[in-house]
Amino acid sequence: MEIIVEDPVCDRKFALENVMVAEEYKGWTYFFCSAECQHKFNQSPATFANGPVPTKAK
Ligand SMILES: [Zn+2]
């Protein structure tokens, strides 16, 4: 079954198998469509990681 995840930076949704970059923050895993979004997340993770994560950490 396909797992859909959401990029917290650009709000894009995509299949987990298409995830380019993943980042752990406070025990959760966040997925990004590109290194660019990951970079933005790393600049201010609190800005993006403030809501419920759309997918489970595992
Ligand atoms: Zn993105």
Q: How far is the CA of 14 from the centre of ligand 1 (A)?
A: 10
Alpha helices (H) in the chain, listed in sequence order: 35-43, 45-48
- The confidence score (pLDDT) of residue 1 equals 82
Tell whether the model's pLDDT for residue 54 goes beyond 80: no
Q: How far is the CA of 18 from the centre of ligand 1 (A)?
A: 12
| Chain position carrying tokens 């995830």 | 19
* β-pairing verdict for 13-15 and 21-25: unpaired
Sign for the CA dihedral angle at 52, 54, 57, 58 comes to positive
| pLDDT tens figures, 21-46 | 999 998 889 999 999 999 999 999 98
pTM over 0.85: no
Number of structural domains found in the chain: 1
Q: How far is the CA of 1 from the centre of ligand 1 (A)?
A: 23
- The confidence score (pLDDT) of residue 43 equals 95
Tell me whether residue 39 is in a domain. Answer: yes
Tell me whether residue 47 is in a domain. Answer: yes
- The confidence score (pLDDT) of residue 10 equals 94
Domain that holds residue 42: 1-7+20-51
| pLDDT tens figures, 10-25 | 999 999 988 889 999 9
Tell me whether residue 15 is in a domain. Answer: no
Tell me whether residue 35 is in a domain. Answer: yes
